[in-house]
Amino acid sequence: MLRNLLPRRVRAAVASLAFCLALSAASQARAETEVDVALVLAVDISFSMSMEELTLQRDGFVDAFRSREVQNAIENGLTGRIAVTYMEWAGVAGHAVLAPWTVIEDAAGAVAFSAVIEAQPTRRMRRTSISAAIDRSMDLLADSGVFAIREVIDISGDGVNNEGRPVEAARDAALDRGVIINGLPIMIERHGAFDIANLDAYFVDCVIGGPGAFVIPVREPEQFAEAIRRKLVLEIAGITPEPDLVRRADDSSPIDCLIGEKLWMQRRGFTP
């Protein structure tokens, strides 16, 4: 009887020891990949963006990661590391990850990440689905492979949602999972079918959310580089933004978050 029980006890002890070792290894691995923030850079490449704007936007992110301001923000964090990925988006089916998840902990890593972005060709795609960009960003966050103190989606865009599910639904689903969404509304003057004058208000009312969420509008081409650099420093360092970046600049009525869908229907000859 004892001989029958002994192997079971031995197997149980071995299994218990293996579990403890695996748990210890998993804890160590997680500690090794702990980062201050997991950041999705979701960048608009819809046809409403001019080639000049696309170039300025791309160059803005490249230059930001090469700047000492951004590099210092990374190195001075609690862990001294961030995880970041760069995704371009347009319509529901228009998403492309140009730079996969990368852990950056020093200037060399930041420069290397910028080089990956810089090497990619510039392109444009049809439609504008901020909601799909948020949803795809959430998928990316789920596959980051790191333990992040904060998870942030950085949405840049020059128009309102006109395809896919309502942007509020995607935003609220992300906020329910504790993700922060910040915005970079591009408001360089144009006269496109889906342009609205107060895009910054749309982003505040319909797109951003979470603790300390903010927007930094770009109203002139020369503002791109500074706006992107400032935005990344705030996001990486987890700095509480100034009030003017959190609230709308006017006291007008709340924005209709379905304005883009309604404009699309009108363009197609339908009345909302």
Q: Does 70 share its domain with 9?
A: no
Rounded to 5 degrees, φ, ψ at 236 are: -70, -45
Asked if residue 110 belongs to a domain, the reply is yes
Least trusted range by pLDDT, from 28-32, 121-125, 240-244: 28-32
d(CA 202, CA 225): 22
Q: Residue 254 has what DSSP assignment?
A: P
Give the HSE-up count for residue 80: Cα atoms under 13 Å, Cβ half-sphere. Answer: 5
The percentage of residues in the chain with a pLDDT greater than 90, rounded to a whole number, is 60
Taking residue 120's Cβ as centre, other Cβ atoms within 10 Å add up to 13
Could you tell me if 8 and 95 lie in one domain? Answer: no
pLDDT-derived band at 40 (thresholds 50, 70, 90) equals: very high
Q: Enter the pTM of the model.
A: 0.83
For residue 206, being part of any structural domain is answered with: yes
Quick one: average pLDDT of 9-35?
46
23 burial type by CB count under 10 A (0-12 exposed, 13-18 middle, 19+ buried): exposed
State how far the Cα of 220 lies from the Cα of 203, in Å rounded to an integer. Answer: 18
* Number of folded domains that form the chain: 2
61 within domain boundaries: yes
Q: Are residues 25 and 44 both part of a single domain?
A: no
Greatest C-alpha distance within the chain: 88
- Same domain for 131 and 15, yes or no, is no
Question: Does residue 6 carry a pLDDT above 90?
Answer: no
Q: What is the pLDDT of residue 193?
A: 55
Instruction: Label residue 25 exposed, middle or buried (CB < 10 Å: 0-12, 13-18, 19+).
Output: exposed
> What is the structure's pLDDT at 18?
40
Identify whether 272 is part of a domain: no
pLDDT in tens, 90-123: 999 889 999 999 999 999 999 999 999 999 988 8
Q: Which domain holds residue 162?
A: 34-267
**Same domain, yes or no, for 66 and 23?**
no
Residue among 100, 99, 94, 160 at smallest CA distance from 123: 94
Could you write out the three-class secondary structure of 145-172?
A: CCEEEEEEEEEEECCCCCCCCCHHHHHH
Q: For the chain, what is the radius of gyration of the CA atoms?
A: 22
Distance CA 48, CA 163 (A): 14
Residues 95 and 66 in one domain: yes
66 burial level (CB within 10 Å; 0-12, 13-18, 19+): middle
Q: How far apart are CA 108 and CA 120, in angstroms?
A: 19
Q: Assess whether pLDDT exceeds 80 at residue 240.
A: no
Please indicate, yes or no, whether residues 4 and 38 belong to a single structural domain of this protein. no
Give yes or no: residues 105 and 151 share one domain.
yes
Q: Say yes or no: 21 and 99 in one domain.
A: no
Q: Clarify whether residues 2 and 100 are in a common domain.
A: no
Q: What is the pLDDT of residue 241?
A: 74
Is the domain of 85 the same as that of 219? yes
Going by DSSP bridges, is the β-strand pair 82-89/34-44 parallel, antiparallel, or unpaired?
A: parallel
